[in-house]
Amino acid sequence: MFRLYQASMYLQHCVGGMGALVQPAWAGVVTQGWEIATKEVTVSGIQRSVAHAISSLQARPLSQVRRYELESRTKISSVDILVAVGQHKVVVEVDGPTHYAANSSRKRLGPSDLRDGLLRQQGFKVLPLPYYEWQKLPSDKNGNLTAEGLKKFEAWLLAAVDGKQLW
C-alpha cells in the first residue's frame, strides 16, 4: 500500500493531469496503509551515527545547521533526518544497502528515486547519503566521526545544499 500511495502522490503532484492511480473508493484504504507503514519506523545504527554527526555540527559556533529531527514525517513519506541548514529545509536520506540493486551496490532502486522526487516537489532539498560513502569517513571505534570525518561530512552537507556534489 505504501508504494501505491507514493505512486499516486507522484502522479498527482509531479506529472499533473494524469488522473488518480487509485480509484476514489480505495483512496482511504491506500492512505491508511501509508499511515500505518510510516507510523512505526526503525532507526538504523548508521542513521543514529549521521544524526549524531549533525548534532555535533549544530553545537558548533557559527554553524549553518540550525536544528534537526530524526525520523520526521512529511505528507508523502517518513524521512530519515530533517535538517535546517541556513534557510533551507533539507532531508538527509541515509540510503543503506536495501536502497540499491542486488547486483550493483551503486545502482539505486526506483522507490528511493520516487521518494526523493516527491520530497523535492514539496520544496525540500534532498541529499541521499549512500552507506558506502558514509563508511569511508574516518570514525572512532563507536562509529562516531572523528574531527577529520566531521569536517569532511560538513563540507559534503554544505556543498550538497548548494547543489554541488563532492562524492
**Segment 35-75, tens digit of pLDDT:** 776 666 678 889 999 999 999 998 887 788 888 888 777 76
Grid look-up 572512532 returns: 140
Answer whether 71's CB lies under 8 Å from 80's CB.
yes
Quote the CA–CA distance of 89 and 133 in Å, as a whole number: 22
- What integer is the mean pLDDT of 4-16? 63
* Distance between start and end Cα atoms, the chain: 34
Q: Which fold has domain 45-161?
A: Endonuclease; Chain A (3.40.960)
CA distance 74 to 103: 31
pLDDT > 70 fraction of the chain, expressed in percent and rounded: 80
Q: 166 pLDDT band (50/70/90 cuts)?
A: confident
Cell numbers given for 128 = 541521499
In the chain, residues under CATH classification 3.40.960.10 are: 45-161
Query: Comparing C-alpha atoms, which of 166, 82, 162, 159 is closest to residue 130?
Result: 166
Give the mean model confidence (pLDDT) for residues 140-152. 94
How many whole angstroms separate alpha carbon 126 and alpha carbon 135?
Answer: 20
What pLDDT was estimated at residue 131?
A: 94
Asked if the model's pLDDT at residue 109 lies above 60, the reply is: yes
Helices first, then strands: H and E counts in the chain: 6, 4
pLDDT of residue 17: 43
Residue with the larger pLDDT of the pair 166 and 52? 52
pLDDT at residue 28, rounded to an integer: 76
